[in-house]
Chains A and B, each alone.
Chain A
């Protein structure tokens, strides 16, 4: 009996380790668990801006009004905004870019972000957006409209407040908050998972299976991606891009830029509403009915920073659904945005 047990055990151990040794796979090798960035895959569309190689592409006539799409996060990517690509067929130049350290753009170490000091938001994000606009703007008379969602809406607001005369239109979809305390409150509300919930325990349980050092982007990005796909609290059910989706699926979170940004936020307490009172052009402020962390009262509070605005409540969708649900985009959001732009 003892002998047969020993043979059985040896067989199991041999099976496991022989199968595991057939081909070594590293969790930190680009392309294994997360897609390669523009630094490793030369075939990806890219631009170099402000010292970083960014994953970026644009659609529509080069000399027409620019619509710059700014994704959420920090650390998200533009893939879920690709329904906006149809605006190119309506005569606009639609620009997408993954922010530094996010999506398929170049990665930077956490220490690099932290070394930017008290002016980090400006140096990292505003200067980058300025560079993106400069790259795609080919005529001084070309109008520029910013379209930001979530963190992208906060960034768009901060940039417009800083350069109010350079922006011709502002579309913001659910900026979590504009003053830092509001940002923290919104994050807490939108991530208030129950202690016994599957979501929370999935998020914490994986830490015993894989760990990544501070700048092991492939590991950290993979883990962040596993956590951030859906969120019932904010009404996100996963993107539906229809024909707007690229021919292959390659989405990647930016865990390091995300963590560094929050730490910088805690340190510097940025005010993204600074200067927005000088932007007299009408802002289109959008929020959704399915985001439980963004009730009417919150929308009223956050939108109060914009001196001239049109508030639009997107019914039947959540935080990202305003843009990433193709049916809603086609029937509601795209007509609304075109109407707004034409009203300017």
Chain B
């Protein structure tokens, strides 16, 4: 009985779903101004684990198509806080607007690390997403869909792994791409003068459109501070 079970997967998914814990910066495009060009974000949620994150974005006010550029850092739960983490750098841009409906796109480069007693992984990836939403000054609601690709990954196995599991395991950079997951879901939020409270939740699906990650949902509860 050395592996996870369907029941465990359901349990993990149910806990994450019903706790409404929810992951990347959610922006109210209708509530931005040239006076508040800095956006700080703190969040907790579930994204391939129970996570906590920090983000910073800077507004480049290009007339009708404002761009937020910045980055986010997140780490999952566990008693070794620095062994796993994810850093995303990129931009979110408003592409089209019709009355209160707006369509925006997000393009991010990702670097992330995973470590357990067997292996240390370091990966470079990308994240492309689109969001179509209805935005008002004090609230917004939207639907998002995106693709997270693990482009190239470095594997470095521990002595323990080589002594106990597989002596001839090959360390080094693995390519072509080692993985990819689609995600889709809903996001929304309530905006006050300089603070947004945001929520998003959705589902994850592996690139074969059939398999699911062990934790097949994501979610994030976040707070934006506009400075």
Contact = CB atoms under 8 A, between A and B. Distances in A.
Pick the most buried of A21, A186, A210: most chain B CB atoms within 10 A of its CB.
Answer: A210
A299 interface: no
A8 interface: no
B50 A196 contact: yes
Interface string A201-245: 111111111111110000000001111111100100011000000
Chain A at the B interface: mostly helix, strand, loop or mixed? loop
B118 A226 contact: yes
Contacts of B214: 203-204, 207
A297 interface: no
B49 A211 contact: no
A273 interface: no
Q: For A27, A213, A224, A228, which residue has the most chain B Cβ atoms within 10 angstroms?
A: A27
Interface string B116-141: 11110101110000000000000000
B211 A25 contact: no
A158 interface: no
B167 A249 contact: yes
Contact of B6 (A16, A213, A262): A262
Contacts of A26: 174, 176
A42 interface: no
Nearest to B122: A209
B185 interface: no
Contacts of B213: 204, 207-208, 211
B99 interface: no
Interface string B1-38: 11111111001100100000000000000000000000
B206 interface: yes
A299 B121 CA distance: 40
Contacts, number: 200
A35 interface: yes
B211 A208 contact: no
Given A75-B2, A76-B2, A205 B84 contact: yes
A224 B6 contact: no
Interface string B208-227: 10110111000000000000
Interface residues of A, number: 71
B166 interface: yes
A234 B125 CA distance: 36
B152 A75 contact: no
Interface residues on B, range: 35 or more
B214 to A, nearest CB: 5
A19 B173 CA distance: 8
B159 to A, nearest CB: 11
B2 A209 contact: no
A82 B15 CA distance: 40
Given A24-B175, A184-B7, A200-B12, A205 B49 contact: yes
A315 interface: no
Nearest to B157: A33
A202 B165 CA distance: 18
A303 interface: no
Contacts of A27: 153, 174, 178
A32 B207 CA distance: 22
B169 interface: yes
A99 interface: no
Nearest to A22: B173
Interface stretch (B61-69, B75-83, B100-108, B194-202): B75-83
Interface in A150-186: 150-151, 176, 184, 186
Contact of B172 (A23, A190, A200): A23
Given A210-B153, A227-B3, A249 B172 contact: no
B198 to A, nearest CB: 22
B69 to A, nearest CB: 14
9 contacts: A150-B2, A204-B12, A204-B76, A208-B148, A208-B213, A209-B150, A210-B178, A211-B213, A226-B118
Give 9 nearest A-B pairs by CB, closest first.
Answer: A198-B78, A207-B213, A228-B2, A211-B179, A196-B77, A201-B49, A20-B173, A249-B167, A201-B76
Given A73-B1, A200-B49, A209-B114, 10 more contacts: A16-B152, A188-B8, A191-B8, A195-B77, A198-B116, A200-B77, A203-B4, A207-B213, A208-B123, A266-B6
